[in-house]
Structure 1
Amino acid sequence: MPEPVNDRLFDALVGELYPLATQAARIVAYLADTPVGMDSSDRELSSRLGDVSAEHVAIVRRSLIENGLAVRSSFASRLVASASVLAALADNLRGIAAYLRVHKDRDAVRLVLTEPGLKSALRRAIDDAQALPPVVFQTSDAFFNLARGAKQELVILSPFMDPQGAELMVELFSLCRPEVRRVLISRPLAEPQCGNAFNPRAADFRRLNVSVIEYALPSSLPSGRETFHAKVVLANDSEYYVGSSNFMGSALERSFECGVFVRGETAKQMRSVLLAIQSVGKPIRNY
């Protein structure tokens, strides 16, 4: 008679492992059949399975240990769960993987972070609380994914930039295919928080045929003008980043920034907003 399954335990494991359900199912099924495989290193186990990385193995191993299905002793780990429990878990993960292959949400949303430096107190607290799933994008990774995936257009909306940020923009626009429309929307280049970084790289932006739009209009607001503070990177009408990160070294590497990477229908809405900004903004013809 099969060993009874703890639903709460399975919910916790599936909740942790669903982003890589296909790989996790293969790893867990292998361990159910070959328990001694738990003694292998992450790289050794991944090489036996194929199409599974050492990182995938490490994530599964950690989840099994933290949820009491395995234990760590010195530098080794061993299973304490029975083969039937592991087989049931593998079946659950296969079901999740099949669901994810056929079910498409209107939008897929993923958390994007910039950590405040290496070994920060914030990172230690997040790790201690186990507050993050195994796969979380870094902000710069999200930007590179968008640039590489752009087929029709890449639009960057950034109110401020510094030399490091301008260099990153040039790199992102350089990654685009020749036919991709490239757009930068900024505050006025005459202002130091934009122009001091943009002007030394102006030739690179021209070479890449980047259309530059300034969005800062006279207004009856107390500030005297209508402008923006949002930060967006949009690829086509299918995916985008929106969050707190400016194109500045501090935001890209040294301060905590938070945003989301979105793929789906709302990208069309975001593109409509950016097109509206371009329609009221000031195109810079000779920069």
Structure 2
Amino acid sequence: MPADADVVRCASPWPGTAAQLMESLSSLGPGSWTIERICSANAVSIAPGDASQVLSGLAVAGVCARASDGGAWSTHLNAAEIGRLATLLRGAEQYRRLRLDAPSLELAVTMPMTPSRLEQELPGSPGRPGGYLPTTSAFLRLATAAQSRLVVMMPFIDVRGFEWLRNVFEAANANVEKLLVLRDVDQYAVDLSVHHGEWLRGMRIGIRDYCVAHGRGRALPLETFHAKIVLADDRLAYVGSANVLGSGDGTSLEAGVLVDGQAALQVARLIGGVLRIARVI
């Protein structure tokens, strides 16, 4: 009986494909089968050449054997054992994917206005005050990373914030959809329509207002947000404390995380929900 560890080792680096082939063998039952028949069983779509390579690895572990003429494969294991090994290999594939897709996380920080006692306590390096990625650099990284959509979701913005926002959106590719989600847009009516209206229209920046009124029976009549999020597609996201304000760009200490992978997908799901209920301006 092949050892589980040997089966996983010999199936590497394609445990998912190996699991599919094992499930095919289990469904076919006892006997010798051509590689084409194995690949077509169970609606498995694997190229015969790839399947032969994976089965050759499993043969080393004693799971299957190749006929002397090289045209067929067989196994001495019963269907239950083959099914168990297929489940084992599915687990190995999931573990491999988790490791490959493990999200990276980097702290983005805005240090307090200089001179700062905090910054004096933390050794820095060129371009990294206190040793951290500056929030402004994190936002620009998001802008340049966006391929289809860039979303900036901030509850508050001021004059300096609009300048900061301009730098972020202008760093993105011209073909990228650009969305700004604000809280209670009416308070920014003059800024959005007069002071920055021409630029917003020229950049084709869509404005959304996440400030939703509820009827009676709710403790707070308005549903809104306090989160600060910047999202590039569903691949990279910032979640933190920095508003698009002057204070968020060098006055007070701000901190947030830059995440990708599965964590960015979770942020994208949240933003998707917000965009579906936010008011289009």
Coarse TM-score class (shorter-chain normalised): 0.5 to 0.7
CA distance in 2, matches of 1:134, 1:120: 10
Q: Greater Rg, structure 1 or structure 2?
A: 2
Equivalent-residue separation in structure 2 for 1:133 and 1:177 (angstroms) = 28
- Aligned equivalents of 1:180, 1:127: Cα separation in 2: 37
Q: Which residue of 1 aligns with 2:203?
A: 208
Following TM superposition, where does structure 1 have runs of at least 4 consecutive aligned residues deviating by more than 4 angstroms? 132-135
Q: Is residue 242 from structure 1 mapped to residue 239 from structure 2 by the alignment?
A: yes
What is residue 192 of structure 2 aligned with on the other side? Answer: 198
Match 1:114 to one of 96, 110, 113? 110
Q: Which residue pairs with 2:162 in the alignment?
A: 166
Q: Distance between the aligned counterparts of 2:236 and 2:262, measured in 1?
A: 8
Question: 1:261 is matched with which residue?
Answer: 258
What does residue 86 of structure 1 align with? none
Q: In 2, are the aligned partners of 1:184 and 1:212 still within 8 Å (CA)?
A: yes
Q: Contact 2:111/2:129 (CA < 8 Å) preserved in 1?
A: no
Change (3 A) 1:222 1:126: farther
| Residue 279 (str. 1) matches residue 271 (str. 2) | no
Q: Does 1:140 align with 2:111?
A: no
Flag structure 2 segments of 5+ consecutive residues without an equivalent. 1-98
The DSSP-based 3-state class of the residue aligned with 2:140 is helix
1-structure distance, mates of 2:262, 2:119: 32
| Identity score, percent | 29
Report deviation, 1:196.
Answer: 5.2
* TM-score normalised over the length of structure 1: 0.57
Cα distance between partner residues in 1 of 2:145 and 2:122: 30
Cα pair 2:161 2:245 within 8 Å, conserved: yes
Distance 1:125 1:134, change over 3 A: closer
Equivalents in 2 of 1:213, 1:198: separation in Å? 12
Give the partner amino acid of 1:198.
L
* SS in structure 1 of the partner of residue 150 of structure 2: strand
Alpha-carbon deviation of 1:157? 0.2
| Aligned CA distance change for structure 1 residues 170 and 221 (closer, same or farther; 3 Å) | farther
Counterpart position of 2:30: none
Shift of 1:268: 1.3
Indicate the residue corresponding to 1:178 in structure 2.
Answer: 174
Give the aligned residue type for 1:228: F
Structure 1, unaligned runs of 5 or more: 1-102
